[in-house]
Structure 1
Amino acid sequence: MFQLSLATFRERRSLFAGAVLIVTLGVALVQSSLLILVSAASPVLPPGLSLQDAERLRDGYSAAVALLAMMLAIATFLAVFIVASTFAFTVAQRRRDLALLRLTGAGRGQVRRLLLSEAILLGLIGTLAGVPAGLVVQRWQAALLVGLDFLPPDFSVRWQGWILAVSAGIGVGIAVLGVLAAARRASKVLPLEALRDLGEAAKVMTGPRWFSGILFLGGALALVILTPASSDEAAIPLAVNGAIAAAVGLSVLSPLVVPLAGRVLGLFLRRSTLGMLAQANLRDGVRRSASTAAPLLVLVALVLSLSGTLGTISAASRAAQAQNTAADLVVESAGPVPHDVPGVAVASAETPVTMTITSYDAKQKAKTKNVRALAVDPESYAKVHPLTPSSLADLRGMTMAMTESHDDSLGDLVQATVGGRDLRLRVAAILPDQVNGGPGVLIPREVAASSDDGASTETLVRLVPGADATAVAATYRTAGARVTTIADWLEASASAQEAMNTRIMAVLLGLSGGYAVVAVINAIVIAGAQRRAEFAAARASGLYRGQVVRMALVESGVVAAIGVGLGTLAAAGPLTGIGRAMNRMSGTQVFFVPWVPFLLILAGTVLTVSVTSVLTALSATRPAPVTLLAGEGR
């Protein structure tokens, strides 16, 4: 069978070239993400750093690890999904060849072994090309993370010898997983049915396809239901995974949509010959259209779910912070600021402090984590933050307040380290979980008295009604402090969060989105390359070459519309869930619609699909029709 697989590769190299490229990129992307993840998970910090600088570096590494973990999951999913879709399409294109093989005496098991052998060969070739390609992708990916301030400029990726075995497993694994379902289906089709395109060979919506499509849609619905009750940290992966599950389910069921779209096309273009031909081609080439739309569907769902989720969290964070801040000025200083300034009603000094909390699980195993706390005066803090619970009045002495997301309960004693001192702090208050960025821990200022973080203190100032804000600001500036209005401070905070979200989008979609675009182009090229005889028949019946190209362009446009429409539908449910979660947590009605990403991806889709389909159709119609119909031109 391996000899036959090699012969098939040589004979059908144009058909397998796209699959090899997809596996190569999948191996490269997964290998790169894994190597950077391992290096960032155990960083080597330079000696002599201050506690604040060391904590800032650790925060950056932690954010990079979280991002890389998400990217690794997305890259692995895209690799398996796209390879499976591509291989299913290539196997469907070869069903007549496989039928002839069955007629010459090959059994079902031999057909399955042939296809699995091809998958293993495909995986090995993809691995051999993917390992060196992964080194190139690694440089780009690391440079992207450094350029977006997730990793320090001196970050270097440490090579791991075991990555070669992992890459080989990834390459062969995704190829074999991708071909399993297609091999099983191909072996069950009767040879005569495949030759005449009847019965099981002509059926696209099989029982397993119905089952898997409904299963994924059911999983997506479950995730949408769970998202509103989750915290903001859990809401992001739940929403994205819900969109991905919905995208997979809709892509599996997309053959149901293609004929409907063809009929809609017929309503608009029924008087056009090219329109009627495109409608007929969509109706007869359901499998081809569904395979082309699948990677585009997933790409749209991924982009819209990520951008919509991050945008919704940013909007909710902006609204919640404005609702929970009752101040007029913000004074930033490295030292103490003047007290009893005329015109000031309340001044709440808030100093960020790095502290270490040690907790124990059921087996008394210690787990230590660094947290960023705020050292505050409870009384003044509660006055400028109206959503703070009244129980904050108990925040005195060796106490602390923490959000509900922590494992400790009211009254528990927590082992903590602040400013080099080992303390046991009693949980005096439980703070409500806040949207993306609110303080997770509050401690009295006397607890942080010996902390040498060197962090600047922000003092939120509320003025007496009728006081001159300019005069008050001038008094603080005289003492060397930096003063901004509360509106400017809130805008700067929201802008910083939105910039962070933009960086996250750039990392997650910069490479994985490009991978999906390559898959879209590959699907269009494979589909067009296998239609040379069909295009030749159309030209022999009287169509000009330009008309055939325009017909292919119309078909591709409809398929792209199907992919964008279903991808938008896949993202709509998870975005509704994340909107409800943020509304619950922020106490405001917030729903963010990612119009800019949607319009950008729509424009990019139209450009990519149009250019690719036109170039592919021009290439497929270059030989004279008579040579293709006679079986000579290739």
Structure 2
Amino acid sequence: MLSVALRTLRTRWTTFTGAFVALSLGVALLTVTGLVLASSLDAPRRGPERFAAAPVVVKGADTLRVRTPAGVRTQKLARPRALTAGTVARLGRLGPVVVDRTFPVRVADGGPGDLVGHPWSVAAFAPYRLTAGRAPTAPDEVAISGDWARVGEAVRTDRGVLRVVGTVRSASSSGGAGSRGFEDAVFCTDARAAQLSPSVVQLVVAADPAVVRRAVRGVDGVQVLTGDARREADADPDRDAEAVTAMNALFGTAGGVSAFVSVFVVASTFAFAVAQRRREFGLLRTVGATPGQLRRMVVAEALGVGVLASAAGCLLGSYGAPLLAARVVEAGLAPGWFTVGAHTWPYQLAFWTGLSVALGGVVAASRRAGRTGPAEALREASVDSRTMTPGRLLAGAALLLTAAVTLCLALAGDPGDLLHRKSSTSRPMLLITAVALLAPLVVRPLTRLLAWLPARLPGAVGMLVRENAAAAVRRTAAVAAPVLVTVALTGSLLGATATLNGAKAAEARARTTADFVVTPRGGAAFDAATVARLREVPGATVSPTSAGAVYVLEDGGALVRSEARAAEPGPLAATVRLPLSAGKAGDLDDGSIIVNEEWQRHTVGQRVRVWLGDGAERTLRIAAVMTTGTGGNGVYVTPRNAPGADVDRVDVALADGADPDAVAAGLRAAVRDAGGQVRTESQWLRATRPHADRTTRLGFLLVLGIALLYTGVSLATTMVMATSDRVRDLAVLRLAGATRRQVLRLVGAEALTVVAVGASLGLAVAWLNLAGMWGALRLLSVRSAIELPWAAVGGAVAACAVLAVVSSVVPAALVLRRRAVDLAGVRE
């Protein structure tokens, strides 16, 4: 039977082209994913940037360490502790000390964002070198990196009008004076930096590291950094690791989806091919072939396709991985140093996975081939029978039941788990597989329903479309399967993001009662003088809040971080409507905390042991409890329990009888020098409406691109296979009097009907997935609606429709160029 299988591959190459292309693409993506993962595992650690030339860096405590029965638990502090004056003086006796200070700088009138200020004395440790001009010597003079201003230019900022007297370039920047390097820095005099940032968090000391360590021994949490450890003094030392983790998640999801869709395409292609070849299998049984031989022949065909496709995919992946790595670096999704290394195990994994997918996709098809009887060689009926086998029915029902049970368990146990991207990506696959397996049960009634109105229009086309699509259940299900996958994934993935973002927007809308919201530009903070000016605006009740963190021990040994907002209780109650399930916001004071239901202890009146953002330990009383919501409610404390936290948002409520326009003008005047923005409630809600982050958007585009590509391959090949199998049907229509144009219109209408069946099933799957998320949101006390991405779904359906029509009409047009009597096998 092996020789028969090889001849079948050669003569029926169009049947296996779709599976070959889809499988090779899937293996290629698995190869790329494996190479990216392997390269990220042995990626070099980024060296120090700001202090690459510093001898020793001493940094205050930035890590909270808590002893528990299960060992020491650690978390990064939201506010690193400053070095005490005594510690600084002690280090000063060891050698020259240069204090590092960092503060944000915002340029007015739409200047560049994320500028970072430093004292000039630390510029030498990057090292930064002057490329033009000179060093700053006066309080209003600065030297800058980047090309956003020229030497001699006066720039208006929240720190006053600054004169640019020099430009610098860092050693890590490869370009000229305009190269950015790792930050956009603004250097002022040391005296001015001390005024703007008086606390000392870290410093550079020129002394022997061992002597420095002895000098700070016993000072809690102080770090002495040398060598590569100096990178811990950079602004964001973990950004490379976070970028690599996000990149791995992106390609891991893409690889999983490609494997899933590959199985779908291969399985549906082989299933349809077996259904088409039942007369061929019947003839083989008639001449003595056993069921086992037929099964082995089908498996051998899949083995041949799998070996060739997997090898081609590995080759394609070896070329594609470096190109893709360069693109993700350019897009900012990976660190600049990231490249794909030489690894062998990704090729092994991708090859054998692809081969397993090919063989696994034909298991059911081979069993169906083995069940073909000799009488099938004489059967000419066009109506499919026994399309739903007991095994397929059992597997589909089991998967559907599994999807329902796991959903119910998640809703009953942890509804918040359904809101995570991992769940919204993996759960649709289970339901898609279940619906695809059970599709033959609903194809015929759904087809009749969709074609009910066209069948009643004048002419026979509508009736023929309905009857042909309903009779050929296997063909309809095979074509509808890739459409189902594409529409279901598009609706589920994009719809989950849209529904969750809509829920977050609804939360923000429900809890914001302020008339105005004042925020700084560039994500920085307001200083005390600006807040004082805001408080002086007549007719305004001002509620300044700041971001921080609170840490708590849960489950006996887990140190959990919760995002915190610090606010004064009275103004907070006037400008915010907290989603409370117990207690009152007005009861918040310096000895209490407002928590949410995610906390292990969340009963009003209970006392909890917490650590504040700077690591200070407190025991606070629970004043009120908020609902869990979408997971962003965090906790609330008073400003006294958020030491060092800067005001980054000011909610403003109008006093009785106050003129909104006058208050708005007063608020704008108060924040003009600080570069703040004054928005009404509706303007602020629109500006801050949640959107998918860039990495998520690119990940979804990649996943959906894979699904649409596979859909195109599967649709094209399946429609070509179906058309070639209907040559005599088309000839009979021509002999019955139908024109060539009428036959082609019938073929196109049938393709559109089948796409409509797949789209309907895909929409049903997407709606069921989003309904589970909606139920989870309701249990988490969030009132929101299901948001289906109609534009994206419509685009996916339109693309599928175009592919299906073209892939069916073009082969039919080529076939109809011959005479009808020749096609029908009738001799003149």
CA distance in 2, matches of 1:62, 1:553: 46
Contact kept, 8 Å, 1:582 with 1:590, in 2: the verdict is no
Cα drift, residue 549 of structure 1? 1.8
1:460 maps to 2:460: no
Cα drift, residue 85 of structure 1? 1.1
Match of 1:373 in 2: 563
1:571-590 matches, within 5 Å, as 571-590=766-785
Match of 1:246 in 2: 431
Which of 710, 716, 726 is the matching residue for 1:531?
726
Match of 2:684 in 1: 489
Residues 370-395 of structure 1 deviation map (CA, whole Å, 9 limit, x = unaligned): x6734524636843433165587677
Cα drift, residue 119 of structure 1? 1.5
Change (3 A) 1:205 1:477: same
> What SS does structure 1 have at the residue aligned with 2:362?
helix
Change (3 A) 1:541 1:497: closer
Cα drift, residue 19 of structure 1? 1.4
Aligned residues between the structures: 619
Cα drift, residue 591 of structure 1? 3.2
Change (3 A) 1:391 1:280: closer
Which of 304, 311, 322 is the matching residue for 2:509?
322
Residues 69-107 of structure 1 deviation map (CA, whole Å, 9 limit, x = unaligned): 433332222121221111111122222222222333332
Which of 456, 476, 480 is the matching residue for 2:674?
480
Contact kept, 8 Å, 2:384 with 2:474, in 1: the verdict is no
> What SS does structure 1 have at the residue aligned with 2:528?
coil
Amino acid at match of 2:5: S
CA distance in 2, matches of 1:146, 1:334: 31
Match of 2:519 in 1: 331
Match of 1:235 in 2: 419
CA distance in 1, matches of 2:241, 2:13: 48
Contact kept, 8 Å, 1:219 with 1:242, in 2: the verdict is no
Cα drift, residue 252 of structure 1? 2.3
Amino acid at match of 1:235: L
Match of 1:278 in 2: 465
Match of 1:72 in 2: 255
1:167 maps to 2:167: no
Cα drift, residue 501 of structure 1? 6.4
CA distance in 1, matches of 2:818, 2:320: 38
Structure with bigger helix share is 1
CA distance in 1, matches of 2:324, 2:638: 42
Residues 141-175 of structure 1 deviation map (CA, whole Å, 9 limit, x = unaligned): 65776677544565444453211111112211111
CA distance in 2, matches of 1:368, 1:51: 25
1:350 maps to 2:546: yes
1:47 maps to 2:231: no
Change (3 A) 1:335 1:472: same
Amino acid at match of 1:616: P
Contact kept, 8 Å, 1:395 with 1:428, in 2: the verdict is no
Contact kept, 8 Å, 1:258 with 1:286, in 2: the verdict is yes
Contact kept, 8 Å, 1:91 with 1:186, in 2: the verdict is yes
CA distance in 2, matches of 1:124, 1:443: 62
Cα drift, residue 212 of structure 1? 2.3
CA distance in 2, matches of 1:407, 1:7: 67
Structure with bigger strand share is 2
Match of 2:166 in 1: none
CA distance in 1, matches of 2:279, 2:297: 15
Match of 2:802 in 1: 607
Cα drift, residue 208 of structure 1? 1.5
CA distance in 2, matches of 1:528, 1:571: 30
CA distance in 1, matches of 2:398, 2:568: 51
Match of 1:86 in 2: 269
1:151-550 matches, within 5 Å, as 151-152=334-335, 155-193=338-376, 195-196=378-379, 202-226=385-409, 228=411, 230-236=414-420, 237-238=422-423, 241-261=426-446, 263-264=448-449, 265=451, 268-269=454-455, 271-327=458-514, 328-332=516-520, 333-338=524-529, 339=532, 340-343=535-538, 344-351=540-547, 373-374=563-564, 376-377=566-567, 379=569, 382-383=572-573, 384-387=575-578, 390=583, 396=590, 403-405=596-598, 413=609, 429=622, 432=626, 434-436=628-630, 438=632, 440=634, 445=639, 449=643, 457-465=648-656, 466=658, 468-485=662-679, 486-494=681-689, 496-497=691-692, 502-503=697-698, 505-550=700-745
Change (3 A) 1:306 1:415: same
> What SS does structure 2 have at the residue aligned with 1:19?
helix
Cα drift, residue 317 of structure 1? 0.6
> What SS does structure 1 have at the residue aligned with 2:518?
strand
Contact kept, 8 Å, 2:731 with 2:823, in 1: the verdict is yes
The structure, 1 or 2, with the larger RCO (C-alpha pairs under 8 Å, 6+ apart) is 1
CA distance in 2, matches of 1:102, 1:460: 81
Contact kept, 8 Å, 1:41 with 1:65, in 2: the verdict is no
Residues 94-130 of structure 1 deviation map (CA, whole Å, 9 limit, x = unaligned): 2222222233333222222222222121111111111
Amino acid at match of 1:316: A
Larger CA Rg, structure 1 vs 2: 2
1:122-161 matches, within 5 Å, as 122-135=305-318, 138=321, 150-152=333-335, 155-161=338-344
CA distance in 1, matches of 2:328, 2:703: 10
- Unpaired runs of 5+ in structure 2? 50-230
Contact kept, 8 Å, 1:310 with 1:501, in 2: the verdict is no
CA distance in 2, matches of 1:415, 1:462: 32
Amino acid at match of 1:16: F
Amino acid at match of 2:349: V
> What SS does structure 2 have at the residue aligned with 1:253?
helix
Contact kept, 8 Å, 1:24 with 1:129, in 2: the verdict is yes
Cα drift, residue 228 of structure 1? 5.0
Cα drift, residue 555 of structure 1? 1.2
Amino acid at match of 1:47: P
CA distance in 2, matches of 1:519, 1:381: 61
Change (3 A) 1:261 1:580: closer
Contact kept, 8 Å, 1:337 with 1:476, in 2: the verdict is no
CA distance in 2, matches of 1:148, 1:411: 48
Change (3 A) 1:490 1:433: same
Amino acid at match of 1:492: A
Change (3 A) 1:330 1:474: closer
Which of 304, 314, 319 is the matching residue for 1:121?
304
CA distance in 2, matches of 1:395, 1:508: 49
Residues 251-303 of structure 1 deviation map (CA, whole Å, 9 limit, x = unaligned): 22322333335545376336524444434432442211111111111211111
RMSD (Å), alpha carbons: 3.9
Change (3 A) 1:553 1:442: same
TM-score, with structure 1 as normaliser? 0.84
Moved more, 169-178 or 74-83: 74-83
Residues 175-232 of structure 1 deviation map (CA, whole Å, 9 limit, x = unaligned): 1110001111211232223542689994212212222232233234335545655444
CA distance in 2, matches of 1:598, 1:199: 33
Amino acid at match of 1:473: L
Amino acid at match of 1:27: V
Residues 343-378 of structure 1 deviation map (CA, whole Å, 9 limit, x = unaligned): 34232231356x9x797988x7xx788x67345246
Amino acid at match of 2:498: G
